[in-house]
Structure 1
Amino acid sequence: MVITQGIVRSFTAAGDGPADVVLSGTEESWEKTLSAVPPPYHVNVLSFSSGVVVKGEVVDTVGPFAPAILRFGQLLRELHSGPPVSEPVDSGDPWPETDNAVGRYVRVKVHGVTYRVYYEEAGHGSIPLLLQATAGTDSRQWRNVLANPELQKRFRMIAFDLPYHGKSLPPADGFPWWESEYAVSKEDLMDRVVAISDAIGLDRPIFMGCSVGGQLATDLAAHHGSKFRALVSINGWYESSALTSIRNYLFHHPRIWPEYFGAFVMAATSPVAPEVLRRETYWIYSSGGPGVYRGDNDYMSLGHDLREDGHLIDTTVSPLWVLAGEYDPTAREGVQGGARAIADNIDGAHYRVLEGLGHFMMSDDPVGFCAQITPILDEVVADLSARQTAGLAGS
């Protein structure tokens, strides 16, 4: 492939000789993956379910050069379908006039260890809305949601950084955290969220989380439902056996830099989201603490299974909304244990597929996300009001 100033000038097949990385797929899968606006699950050659297979030594070539493979797929798409539609240069900052979140720290003690936890707050509504980021990341993912003027009118929004994430450093109270790798159990995560909510002084907030946060929403509903007015699970799984093939150890390998999973994240963003915010999502994922993404993913793929405790969720106590992005694998028809399975197996759970949105919807397409989440949250509040009128426990 001859590239001049970022434009593919020519491409010649290399034949059947040896190659470090081989991309292969059926004609149908290539046609979908290289279309100008690819359909769900075919966003890029690195998408897990695109039908295009990337073969090569992960440690030697695929991992270190994942960003180049991602770019290669984008160039192939431009060669096949033309240049992408350009986005406005300011599309990464949709509400600058109300971008007024205030950051604070609070001391949180969990299992005998004290953490200095960072959180950002915006909005002047009477109902607290607690926002949980995806695996390995932090409150930066919610920055544009915090700036949304309509949500500011309705809620007191709090986006926090779990310990070891973002501005919440490892504990500084003498606990020797450096003697072991970062690892968290379901109980660790649940207890930290509850402790953070209590330390900030929130009165039964609505909890909304994405990906790992989406699974955490359902686990909190099962074990701490009375602590929350309602819970919103975004792109979470009912059970994660479909994810066990993901080799999490590669997300903290000494010969693979963080851009490896940054590239996979970029491949999971929505193809109709602004390029600048897709890149921002990539940047956030490439700047996490050592091993934190892998540790969170271990919970996501190994430590969560509602087949074991989903029966503990009482939606009359903790109303549950289950959301999946159109471009997210959890929404795929027939996928084992996806978001649809949560609604199918939990009595009273509400289910929605959000059109045009992907796995990192609040981060890569906040305008599209806020347009669809605002009426859903209005529905949540209306349901809580109706419950209160009827005297139900979930009010």
Structure 2
Amino acid sequence: MPTERLTFTGHSGDTLTARLDLPDGPHLATALFAHCFTCSKDIPAARRISARLAGAGFAVLRFDFTGLGHSEGEFENTSFTTNIRDLELAAEALAARGMAPGLLIGHSLGGAAVLAAAGGIDSVRAVATLAAPFDPGHVLHNFAGAMDRIEADGAAEVTLGGRPIRIGRGFVEDVRAEALEDKIEHLGRALLVMHAPRDAVVGIDNAAAIFKAAKHPKSFVTLDEADHLITDPDDAEYAAQVIAAWATRYLDLAAPAPPPGAPEGVVRVSEADADGFLQDVNAGPGHHVLADEPAAYGGTDRGMSPYGFLAAGLGACTSMTIRMYARRKGWPLEHVSVDVTHDKVHAQDAASRAEAKADKFTRSVRLTGDLDDDQRQRLLEIADKCPVHRTLERSSVVETHLA
């Protein structure tokens, strides 16, 4: 996954730092990610979700809000309103590169921020929140013990996530005054709410309130056992897969024209996990799947194996070919299913090589419908006319070169 480091100017003129994670292939859409309260663009959940979305063809910008991470400025002088402005400026920076964001993603308070900012970013068509509070003032409980000092002195240092950070009175007053209900009701964009029922930091009732306030199209997906920061890699990957699949319904994913000599377009396979065998498989704007190896062979079993995909191609082509023939003949075929297994067997015709192996694919075809014996036999014969079957039976030419 290629990543660019870039900067843009924040609400107060300070330089904000960002990472733009790019797909290893055609750029289909752009997302803008807002991190959780006092976190940074490099929090594990943000990195993992961004990487998985990049694997599905999304460019994802994640940045540090003013005064956080590697961005300039003083956090104690910021507010929820300035966070929203930083988001708008991030969207403008993307638009200047010809990559205006169609999707906003916000985690925790960042989720509240994208709900508030979406209406001011014309390019946005979809918004996804992760563990977001309905009331931004919810964050105040994180430093309730310092509220008297903040009120009296204008700012105070509190410890959040094991590190000290100064909170200003302006931030406190701003989040207290912010009300999201009207903005959610008039969002005018597709909304995906994701939340864990056992989130101990921002309760699930927040998700219910956001969902209730929103108009359709809206969706809710549970994050099951995930913690508030989505620290488990499997939870982050699940969230990214759901967001990518959901967003394709609402974004205009424009894929490049297929190159000459490849009428079906390019199938791009890129490594998703250098420590294992997980692969991102993309075929056009609407088709993203994972390939992997079983755990017994060093993989993580999060996708079909390469031979599984090969068997799937044979089974799908067989079923389609039978259906096309029965439809043309007007036969009463109601349903087709094909079971395919793959094995390596000793090649009977390779006498000169005692250890030579051949690939054996076994198909079991089920035909449902009021068909007579002759029709069933003919459809079984037609299965052998499947183009993938013919490709597997005859020699193929595979040309390989360095890109």
Superposed, which structure 2 residues align to 1:51-200 within 5 Å?
98=1, 101-106=3-8, 108=9, 110=11, 113-124=12-23, 125-142=27-44, 144-145=47-48, 148=51, 151-170=54-73, 181-186=76-81, 188-200=82-94
C-alpha contact 2:22 2:58 (8 A) present in aligned 1: yes
Aligned length: 241
Distance 1:224 1:380 in 2: 19
Residue number among 174, 180, 197 corresponding to 1:306 in the alignment = 180
Residue number among 318, 326, 331 corresponding to 2:197 in the alignment = 326
Q: Which amino acid aligns with 2:113?
A: L
Distance 1:182 1:342 in 2: 28
- Return 5+ residue gaps in structure 2 as ranges: 254-403
Q: Which amino acid aligns with 1:127?
A: A
C-alpha contact 1:331 1:340 (8 A) present in aligned 2: no
Distance 2:21 2:234 in 1: 17
Q: Which amino acid aligns with 1:261?
A: L
Larger CA Rg, structure 1 vs 2:
2
Change (3 A) 1:183 1:331: closer
Distance 2:239 2:80 in 1: 32
For the aligned residues, what is the CA RMSD? 3.4
Q: Which amino acid aligns with 2:20?
A: E
- Matched residue SS, 1:196: helix
Deviations 1:359-388 (A, max 9, x none): 111xx22332112331332121123359xx
- Matched residue SS, 1:355: coil
Q: Which amino acid aligns with 1:194?
A: E
State the shift of 1:128 in Å: 1.0
Distance 2:203 2:172 in 1: 20
Q: State the match for 1:229 in structure 2.
A: 125
TM-score, scaled to structure 1: 0.52
Q: State the match for 1:65 in structure 2.
A: none
For the pair 1:353 / 2:255, whether they are aligned, the reply is no
C-alpha contact 1:118 1:161 (8 A) present in aligned 2: yes
Q: Which amino acid aligns with 1:155?
A: F
Deviations 1:194-230 (A, max 9, x none): 1122123331331101111110121123x32524121
For the pair 1:212 / 2:105, whether they are aligned, the reply is no
Q: Which amino acid aligns with 1:325?
A: A
Larger RCO of the pair (alpha carbons < 8 Å, separation 6+): 1
Distance 1:212 1:236 in 2: 6
Change (3 A) 1:109 1:121: closer
Q: State the match for 2:251 in structure 1.
A: 384
- Matched residue SS, 1:151: helix
Change (3 A) 1:238 1:332: closer
Deviations 1:147-195 (A, max 9, x none): 735633421111111121111112xxxxxx7xx9423142x22222111
C-alpha contact 1:101 1:146 (8 A) present in aligned 2: no
- Matched residue SS, 1:159: strand
C-alpha contact 1:104 1:118 (8 A) present in aligned 2: yes
Residue number among 119, 122, 134 corresponding to 1:238 in the alignment = 134
Distance 1:165 1:329 in 2: 24
Distance 2:140 2:171 in 1: 14
Distance 2:55 2:30 in 1: 11
Deviations 1:316-340 (A, max 9, x none): xx2111111233258756x4xx111
Distance 1:347 1:210 in 2: 21
Deviations 1:280-311 (A, max 9, x none): xxxxxx26x5337x876765x52432234433
TM-score, scaled to structure 2: 0.51
C-alpha contact 1:127 1:154 (8 A) present in aligned 2: yes
Distance 1:312 1:295 in 2: 27
Q: Which amino acid aligns with 1:196?
A: A
Q: Which amino acid aligns with 1:305?
A: A
Change (3 A) 1:297 1:214: farther
Change (3 A) 1:101 1:365: farther
Q: Which amino acid aligns with 1:372?
A: A
C-alpha contact 1:136 1:296 (8 A) present in aligned 2: no
Q: Which amino acid aligns with 1:356?
A: E
Percent identity between the two aligned chains: 13
Q: Which amino acid aligns with 1:136?
A: T
- Return 5+ residue gaps in structure 1 as ranges: 1-97, 171-176, 264-285, 387-395
Residue number among 167, 170, 173 corresponding to 1:291 in the alignment = 167
Distance 1:147 1:242 in 2: 26
State the shift of 1:347 in Å: 1.1
Change (3 A) 1:341 1:150: closer
For the pair 1:371 / 2:238, whether they are aligned, the reply is yes
